[in-house]
């Protein structure tokens, strides 16, 4: 029988508390169709505090049995989650489109990315070396004191709370990067669904719940909580069973969760991905040689996904060249001729409009789509323009406006570019366009940018994050809460693991990864040398 036939394709509207469904509580909310602003059926029921307590206790009970499963067992489970998501077929894609107004094709791609991420972590678990095992054999006759046998490796942190992102209903939500990396590390997961796409969340949760059942995983391996306000999410972050948090969203929301976690009697790590304007520097040769193509590519990057990517180029630096004004005119023309489009939620639409009004009064130039026929959560794409001197004197011009807009900063000199780069907040990414000679001349700019971002891009745009082992989707605060980690790529697994050392243990009592015979044939450092 096809897996799709085994999945419940109707929306029920209640939380997933381990293997049971939550109650139809009185507190409800609906998703909205962003093209009209109208509510979409069915209503979703907020989890109660008692249901949260039950989910957290189940996750706590699953902590050791799930965390101690062989990597290959967890890999098979993750592959089933991916298979089950694919088995949801068009139902999932249509619901995601309804709740976000983003096109079907976008979700076909995002589903492939989501399932690809799950399978990437399955591959990582099957290979096994991610635990970074190190073995230092004992030297009992070492003088003046004997050396003990010391071995260490990554072990799971314990239950993780994951907050879904509004702008990636699949790839950064219920079975997205945070969930996949936490489950891969051996951590049970409790997801807080985003209120913007609860139906999408329920479908994906049903795919995970089925895999939990089919693979006989501990019941508390996965739960999903619907919640109308912040009470349930905050109570989850404070719950003693929770050992780490993953979040993608606003700086205000992320910061609130960081502060809550830090104020717990036992503080826990919080991995928040928040605001970033992804500065984009056009160096002279780029504007002189490729002005037209770059204006079109910048337009595509700023307006793609209605500008709702954390990697959108929100700050563009231009040098003074003979081609600069033609580049700006071309870009402004393209923006003026871009149709309005709906943002994901009424709240994001309001934030866009309010921030745009404020910015208008602070800049020298402004162009937006001329259309006045706005409906639902529609906004007009726009571009702002300002001199480098003004930018330097108005720090809030460096703030993110989430949506299809960007700020062009005209720099009179290289020194101005360097000064601005030095003043930038932490960012997910920065792009530099030019040639190799520019890179040599602007080596000091690159050196500054490297201290500000998680990813440096040459002759490309920051949107479009490749999911691969070497990707870094992170960056210093406020881009993220911890610049040492990445939310994309297989390195994300170590966010939800911690190093544990076993000293003088007999071989029979050690985890497989640390046994002398290396039964899993993983890469390890033994007495200072890498080998398998
Ligand atoms: P958000 O308001 O930060 O919400 C994200 C999630 O966290 C939602 O589930 C929200 O609950 C919850 N939440 C927010 N504040 C909380 C708090 N103080 N305590 C407990 N839970 C809290 O982000 P959003 O709704 O996705 O979008 C709003 C803004 O976030 C955008 O305008 C944009 O600036 C930014 N954003 C940034 C990125 C990025 O990747 N950097 C991505 C998306 C959004 P509810 O569902 O109940 O609201």
- Domains of the chain and CATH, by start: 3-274+486-495 (3.40.605.10), 280-458 (3.40.309.10)
Which member of 110, 219, 273, 513 is catalytic?
A: 273
Residue 416 annotated in active site: no
Dist CA 47 CA 209 (whole Å):
17
Neighbours of 76 (CB within 10 A): 17
Per-residue confidence of the chain (532 residues) as pLDDT tens digits?
Answer: 344 444 557 899 999 999 999 999 999 999 999 999 999 999 999 999 999 999 999 999 999 999 999 999 999 999 999 999 999 999 999 999 999 999 999 999 999 999 999 999 999 999 999 999 999 999 999 999 999 999 999 999 999 999 999 999 999 999 999 999 999 999 999 999 999 999 999 999 999 999 999 999 999 999 999 999 999 999 999 999 999 999 999 999 999 999 999 999 999 999 999 989 999 999 999 999 999 999 999 999 999 999 999 999 999 999 999 999 999 999 999 999 999 999 999 999 999 999 999 999 999 889 888 777 899 999 999 999 999 999 999 999 999 999 999 999 999 999 999 999 999 999 999 999 999 999 999 999 999 999 999 999 999 999 999 999 999 999 999 999 999 999 999 999 999 999 999 999 999 999 999 999 999 999 999 999 999 9
Q: Is the dihedral of CA 468, 71, 492, 135 positive or negative?
A: negative
Q: Which helix (H) or strand (E) holds 357?
A: helix 346-360
Using alpha carbons only, what angle is made at residue 430 by residues 378 and 465, rounded to the nearest 5 degrees? 65
How many whole angstroms from its chain centre is CA 296? Answer: 27
Best residue among 161, 168, 172, 250 to mutate for probing ligand 1, ranked by most atoms within 8 Å of CB: 250
Dist CA 102 CA 312 (whole Å):
16
Q: Which atom of ligand 1 is found nearest the CA of 479?
A: 41
Shortest-distance Cα residue to atom 23 of ligand 1: 249
Task: Find the 165 Cα to ligand 1 centroid distance in Å.
Answer: 7
**Residues forming a β-bridge with 231:** none
**Dihedral, CA atoms, 16, 64, 512, 516, nearest 10 degrees?**
150
- In which residue are the tokens 């609130």 written? 256
**Dihedral, CA atoms, 134, 139, 140, 146, nearest 10 degrees?**
-90
Dist CA 236 CA 251 (whole Å):
19
Q: Is the dihedral of CA 338, 344, 350, 354 positive or negative?
A: negative
**Residues forming a β-bridge with 96:** none
Judging by DSSP bridges, how do beta strands 222-225 and 378-379 pair with one another?
unpaired
Buried b (16+ CB within 10 A) or exposed e, 401-437: bbbbbbbbbbbeeeebbbebbeebbbbbbbbbbbbee
Q: Closest Cα to residue 84, out of 172, 15, 164, 1?
A: 1
Shortest-distance Cα residue to atom 36 of ligand 1: 249
Shortest-distance Cα residue to atom 44 of ligand 1: 249
Q: Closest Cα to residue 192, out of 212, 211, 173?
A: 173
Q: Ligand 1: which residues within 6 Å by Cβ?
A: 163-167, 192, 194-195, 230, 233-234, 248-250, 253, 256, 273-276, 310, 347-348, 351, 400, 402
Residue 273 annotated in active site: yes
Shortest-distance Cα residue to atom 9 of ligand 1: 194
Enter the DSSP assignment of 430: E
């Amino acid at each position: 029988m096809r897996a799709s036939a085994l999945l419940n394709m109707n929306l029920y509207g209640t939380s997933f508390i381990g293997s049971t469904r939550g109650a139809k509580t009185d507190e409800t909310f609906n998703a909205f169709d962003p093209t009209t602003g109208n509510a979409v059926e069915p209503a979703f029921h907020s989890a109660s505090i008692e249901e949260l307590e039950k989910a957290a206790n189940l996750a706590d009970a699953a902590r050791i049995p799930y965390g101690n499963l062989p990597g290959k067992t967890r890999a098979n489970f993750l592959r089933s989650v991916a298979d089950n998501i694919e088995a949801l077929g068009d139902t999932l894609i249509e619901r995601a489109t309804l709740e976000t107004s983003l096109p079907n094709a976008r979700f076909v791609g995002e589903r492939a990315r989501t399932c690809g991420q799950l399978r990437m972590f399955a591959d990582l678990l099957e290979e096994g070396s991610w635990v970074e095992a190190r073995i230092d054999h004992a030297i009992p006759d070492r003088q003046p004191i004997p050396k003990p046998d010391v071995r260490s490796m990554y072990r799971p942190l314990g239950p993780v709370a994951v907050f879904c992102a509004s702008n990636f209903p699949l790839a950064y939500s219920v079975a997205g990067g945070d969930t996949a990396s936490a489950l891969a590390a051996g951590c049970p997961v409790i997801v807080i669904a985003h209120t913007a796409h609860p139906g999408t969340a329920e479908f994906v949760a049903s795919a995970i719940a089925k895999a939990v059942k089919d693979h006989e995983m501990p019941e508390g391996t996965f739960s999903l909580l619907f919640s109308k306000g912040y009470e349930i999410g905050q109570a989850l972050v404070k719950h003693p069973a929770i050992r780490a948090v993953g979040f993608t969203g606003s700086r205000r929301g992320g910061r609130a969760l960081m502060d809550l976690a830090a104020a717990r009697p036992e503080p826990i790590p919080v991995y928040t991905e928040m605001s970033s304007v992804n500065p984009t520097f056009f160096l002279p040769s780029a504007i002189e040689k490729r002005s037209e193509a770059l204006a079109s590519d910048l337009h595509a990057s700023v307006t793609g996904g209605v500008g709702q990517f954390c990697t959108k180029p929100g700050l563009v630096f231009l040098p003074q060249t003979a081609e600069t004004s033609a580049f700006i005119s071309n870009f402004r023309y393209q923006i003026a001729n871009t149709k309005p489009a709906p943002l994901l939620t009424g709240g994001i639409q309001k934030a866009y409009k309010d921030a745009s009004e404020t910015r208008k009064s602070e800049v020298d130039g402004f162009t937006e789509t001329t259309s006045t026929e706005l409906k639902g959560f529609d906004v007009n794409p726009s571009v702002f323009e300002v001199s480098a001197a003004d930018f330097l004197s108005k720090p809030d011009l460096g703030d993110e406006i989430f949506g299809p807009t960007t700020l062009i900063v005209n720099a009179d000199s290289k020194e101005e570019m360097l000064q601005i780069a030095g003043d930038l907040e932490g960012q997910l990414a920065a792009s530099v366009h030019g040639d190799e000679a520019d890179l040599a001349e602007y080596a000091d700019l690159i050196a500054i940018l490297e201290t500000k971002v998680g990813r440096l891009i040459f002759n490309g745009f920051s949107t479009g994050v490749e999911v691969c082992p070497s990707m870094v989707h992170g960056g210093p605060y406020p881009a993220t809460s911890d610049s040492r980690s990445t939310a994309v790529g297989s390195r994300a697994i170590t966010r939800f693991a911690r190093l544990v050392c076993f000293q003088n243990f007999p071989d029979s009592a050690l985890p497989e990864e640390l046994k002398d015979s290396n039964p899993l044939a993983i890469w390890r450092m033994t007495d200072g040398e890498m080998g398998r």
